[in-house]
Amino acid sequence: MVKKIKTCVFISGTGSNLESIIKSSRDYIFPIKIKLIISNNINAKGLRLAKKYSIPYKFFSSKNKKKFERNSLFVIKKRKIKFLCLAGFMKKLSSNFIKCFGYKIIN
């Protein structure tokens, strides 16, 4: 059995990349399992995909970057996420966020 890595996907928009990742992650040999989707855009079409595929999701406003990062890290750590995928996420994450997360991140 393939041990899948608990993954969170950050999105900002339509979710076209997200849908490809979700479909691939359903494959037995694909190494990740999407446990959470985070968006900084309440109107992101990708959130509809989260609902469609029954994946938990969170929205946090990015108007206050520190608060966005703090809230994101809190839920990521709570769910024991070990891998982040930035799929059309249109904001830069701070070096502090990256250091505090401490695992792999891909864009």
- Quickly list H helices, the chain: 16-25, 46-52, 65-78, 95-101
pLDDT per position as a tens digit, 12-30: 988 889 999 999 999 999 9
Instruction: Summarize the confidence of residues 81-99 as an average pLDDT.
Output: 95
Q: What is the pLDDT of residue 14?
A: 85
pLDDT of residue 93: 96
Determine the pLDDT at residue 16: 85
pLDDT digits (tens, 9 = 90+) for 26-71: 999 999 999 999 999 999 999 999 999 999 999 999 999 999 999 9
CA-wise closest residue to 31 among 4, 58, 59, 71: 4
User: In the prediction, which pLDDT does 1 show?
Assistant: 60
Average pLDDT over residues 64-91: 96
14/32 Cα distance (integer angstroms)? 21
pLDDT at site 2: 76
The pLDDT of 77-90, averaged and rounded, is 95
**78, pLDDT greater than 90:** yes
